[in-house]
Amino acid sequence: MSTTKVFLILVTLTGAIISFALASDPEPLQDLCVALPNSGVRVNGFACKAESNVTESDFFFSGIGKPGVINNTVGSLVTTANVDKIPGLNTLGVSLARIDYEPGGINPPHTHPRATEVVFVLEGELDVASITTSNKLISKKIKKGEVFVFPIGLVHYQKNNGDTLASVIAAFNSQLPGALSVASALFSSKPAVPDDVLAKTFQIDATVVETIKTKFAPKTG
């Protein structure tokens, strides 16, 4: 094999390895790095607490063991178990969440910019779907004991079309996967996306845009 071909193969393999490495959180360089969010140090993640100050509570969270109280118009509640709740997750590249849905409730279309999501159904049945960059809808009805995967960055949603409560546990390959709601991002950002941009995008009248924005305005009183 020629030197040129060997060089090209090495370049290709190196690129593939780098791409894979960049697809998830960086690997830890020590046994643990418990997050110290109030340190004032800005890094890609959080600064580490001194190991002498680390306790078992840095690795514990009991907040996803039972259903949360749903009190919103979409009929679902996401309870996160990420590095904000479990400081010991810092640099480990994993986190969980629990999502509860009332009958008819939906976890509206959204993306996770930093993680793939895997959901395991605890109770009930859900209609779930993700949308690829070629606008292909990949959808399925899933029930208790079943698993579904939402690839990193793709818009996806879950909806409870049943007449009983539904719940899932979601796993992520990031300590802080982030969540960007499509509707909220477009209609409640600060500063606001200009009405004419949204009107042109959705081919609707600007007055309709204003009406939609009122649905996402913070409740007062």
SS (H, E, C) the chain: CCHHHHHHHHHHHHHHHHHHHCCCCCCCCCCCCCECCCCCCCECECCECCHHHCCHHHHCCCCCCCCCCCCCCCCEEEEEECCCCCHHHCCCCCEEEEEEECCCCEEEEEECCCCCEEEEEEECEEEEEEECCCCCEEEEEEECCCEEEECCCCEEEEECCCCCCEEEEEEECCCCCCCEEHHHHHHCCCCCCCHHHHHHHHCCCHHHHHHHHHHHCCCCC
Residue 26 has pLDDT above 60, yes or no: yes
- 71 is annotated as contributing to ligand binding: no
Could you tell me the two tokens for 157? 């949603």
pLDDT (0 to 100) of residue 219: 66
- Choice among 10-24, 96-110, 198-212 with the minimum mean pLDDT: 10-24
Mean pLDDT of the chain: 89
Between 32 and 130, the higher pLDDT residue? 130
What pLDDT band is residue 25 in, cutting at 50, 70 and 90?
A: confident
Give the C-alpha distances (Å, rounded to integers) separating 46 from 34, 43, 156.
Answer: 8, 6, 28
Phi, psi of 77 (to 5 degrees): -140, 125
Mean pLDDT for the stretch of residues 126-145: 98
pLDDT at position 177 over 90: yes
Is a pLDDT exceeding 50 seen at residue 8?
no
Any binding-site annotation on 110? Answer: yes
Report, as an integer, the average pLDDT of 51-58: 96
Q: Is the pLDDT of residue 7 over 90?
A: no
145 Rama sector, left if φ>0, alpha if ψ -120 to 50, beta otherwise: left
d(CA 148, CA 98): 14
Beta bridge partners of 106: 159
Name the pLDDT band for 32 (thresholds 50, 70, 90).
confident
112 is in an annotated binding site: yes
Q: What is the pLDDT of residue 10?
A: 44
Residue 44 annotated as binding?
Answer: no
Q: Write down the architecture of domain 67-82+93-179 according to CATH.
A: Sandwich (2.60)
- Write down the domain spans for the chain: 67-82+93-179, 189-216
- Distance from first CA to last CA of the chain, Å, rounded? 75
**pLDDT, tens only, 66-125:** 999 999 999 999 999 999 999 999 999 999 999 999 999 999 999 999 999 999 999 999
The pLDDT assigned to 19 comes to: 46
Is 156 annotated among the ligand-binding residues?
Answer: yes
**pLDDT of 178-192, one tens digit each?**
999 999 999 999 999
